[in-house]
C-alpha cells in the first residue's frame, strides 16, 4: 500500500503496487463509517448489534458491485481485476486510473464548451450502453463518478448502486443522488434504462 486516494462514507480507496504484475492498482475497502469501525487488530466490525444487519447488507451490495464490474472489459468502465473478503470486510482491486473527475473540471470551468462536453459525454454514452446491454442499470450517474484520465479517456466509476434490470423494475425504494435522479427514481418507482439516460442529461 502506498497512500490513500480518497475516503468517503462507504469506504477508503488506496493506491497500491501489485508486486506480481509490477503496476499500480487502486484497492477499494468497504468501510461504512456510520455502521462500522476498524478494531485494534485491523478488522472491520459493526459499531453495535443494531448496525450489524445494515452492515452485512451493505457488504453484500459491495461484493455485488465487484462482481458486476468484473464482467466488463470496456475502455469507458472502471476495470475490476479481482475482489476478495478479509478482515471482516471486502476489497476490490481495480486498474489505477490517474486523472480528474468531471466535477473537478466543472469547478475550474463552470461552463464548458460543446466540444469539451462531447469529448466527455459520447464515451460516457458508450460505457452506459455496454452496462445496459449486459442487463444492468448504474443508477448513480453524476459528475464525481465520471473520471477523465490524463490521457483524455473517460471512465465511468462507482457502481455501488448498480442493479440488474429486473430487480430495478420491482424494487420500490429511493436509490441515487438527489438532484441527479429521474422523477421516477426520486419517487421510488420502477426505473429503466431511461432513468440512467436522464441522469446523463442532468
Residue-by-residue pLDDT tens, the chain, 202 positions: 899 988 777 788 899 999 988 899 999 999 988 899 999 999 999 999 999 999 998 899 889 888 888 888 899 998 888 999 999 999 999 888 889 999 999 999 878 899 999 999 999 999 999 999 988 888 889 999 999 999 999 999 887 777 777 666 666 667 778 899 889 888 888 888 999 999 999 9
> What separation in angstroms does the CA of 33 have from each of 26, 38, 40, 134, 144?
20, 9, 16, 32, 20
Q: State the Cα–Cα distance between residues 25 and 23, nearest whole angstrom.
A: 7
Residue 68 in 3-state DSSP?
helix
Q: Which three cell numbers stand for residue 194?
A: 431511461
Which is the catalytic residue, given 60, 126, 140, 158?
140
Claim: this prediction has a pTM higher than 0.85: no
Q: In the annotation, is 140 catalytic?
A: yes
Amino acid at each position: 500500500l502506498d497512500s490513500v486516494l480518497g475516503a468517503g462514507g462507504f469506504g477508503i480507496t488506496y493506491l497500491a503496487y501489485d508486486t506480481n504484475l509490477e503496476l499500480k492498482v487502486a484497492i477499494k475497502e468497504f468501510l461504512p463509517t456510520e455502521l462500522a469501525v476498524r478494531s485494534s487488530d485491523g478488522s472491520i466490525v459493526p459499531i453495535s448489534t443494531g448496525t450489524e444487519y445494515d452492515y452485512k447488507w451493505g457488504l453484500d451490495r459491495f461484493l455485488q458491485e465487484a462482481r458486476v464490474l468484473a464482467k466488463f472489459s470496456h475502455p469507458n468502465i472502471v476495470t475490476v481485476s479481482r475482489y476478495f473478503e478479509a478482515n471482516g470486510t471486502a476489497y476490490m482491486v481495480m486498474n489505477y486510473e490517474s486523472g480528474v473527475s468531471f466535477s473537478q473540471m466543472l469547478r475550474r470551468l463552470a461552463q464548458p464548451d460543446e466540444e469539451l462536453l462531447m469529448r466527455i459525454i459520447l464515451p460516457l454514452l458508450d460505457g452506459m450502453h455496454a452496462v445496459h446491454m449486459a442487463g444492468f442499470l448504474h443508477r448513480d450517474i453524476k459528475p464525481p463518478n465520471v473520471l477523465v484520465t490524463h490521457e483524455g479517456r473517460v471512465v465511468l466509476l462507482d457502481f455501488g448502486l448498480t442493479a440488474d434490470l429486473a430487480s430495478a423494475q420491482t424494487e420500490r425504494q429511493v436509490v441515487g443522488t438527489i438532484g441527479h435522479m429521474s422523477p421516477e427514481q426520486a419517487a421510488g418507482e420502477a426505473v429503466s434504462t431511461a432513468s440512467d439516460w436522464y441522469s446523463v442529461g442532468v
